[in-house]
Structure 1
Amino acid sequence: MKNTFNTSAPKKATNLSLNSKLLSEAKRLNINLSATMEKALEIEVTQRLKAEWLEKNTDAIKACNDLTDKHGLFSDSYRVF
């Protein structure tokens, strides 16, 4: 999967408010909070960027699909399946 951000960008400190019991368990289990949060953010950002792209391009996608429905694909006569 292609990264949606620059993995070599410098880190920046931030503050988070987390459920205290969940945080205690994460610490007990030696979970790297920074790495876990970064991975979760990467997944969320990727999903939202995809949704944003689809929303922006809905009309173009529909137009392309309509054109294909009406005229077919250039390769239709060459397919063997």
Structure 2
Amino acid sequence: MTALYNPHAKKKATNLSINSDLLKKAKELHINISNSLEKTLIELIKEQEAKKWTSQNKTSINSYNERVAKSGTFSDEIRSF
């Protein structure tokens, strides 16, 4: 599996528009906005990549599930649960 992103990549300055009250409260609470955004972006990217993978592999997944429903799995005869 390939890495989600390069954690050693150079930081890049960017402009964002943020609700002014949220920004004020985050600063009052000493929340690192850049770090918080990066963590949230990582989670959002993971979710979107998983959805994309599932969508791209939907036909194969459905085919496999149909085969298992019809024929079972290779270990059905030997499993003890």
Q: TM-score, normalised by structure 1?
A: 0.91
- Extract structure 1 runs of 4+ deviating beyond 3 A: none
Number of equivalent positions: 79
| Residues 1-81 of structure 1 aligned to structure 2 (within 5 Å) | 4-81=4-81
The one-character-per-residue Cα deviations of 1:18-70 (angstroms, maximum 9, x if unpaired) are 00111011111110010000001111111111111111111110000011111
| Partner AA of 1:80 in structure 2 | S
Q: Gaps spanning 5+ residues in structure 2: where?
A: none
Classify the secondary structure of the residue corresponding to 2:77.
helix
Classify the secondary structure of the residue corresponding to 1:74.
coil
Q: Cα RMSD over matched residues?
A: 1.1
Q: Gaps spanning 5+ residues in structure 1: where?
A: none
Q: TM-score, normalised by structure 2?
A: 0.91
Identity of aligned residues (%): 42
Classify the secondary structure of the residue corresponding to 1:37.
helix
Q: Which one scores higher on RCO, CA 8 angstroms, separation ≥ 6?
A: 1
CA shift, 1:5, in A, is: 1.6
| Partner AA of 1:38 in structure 2 | E
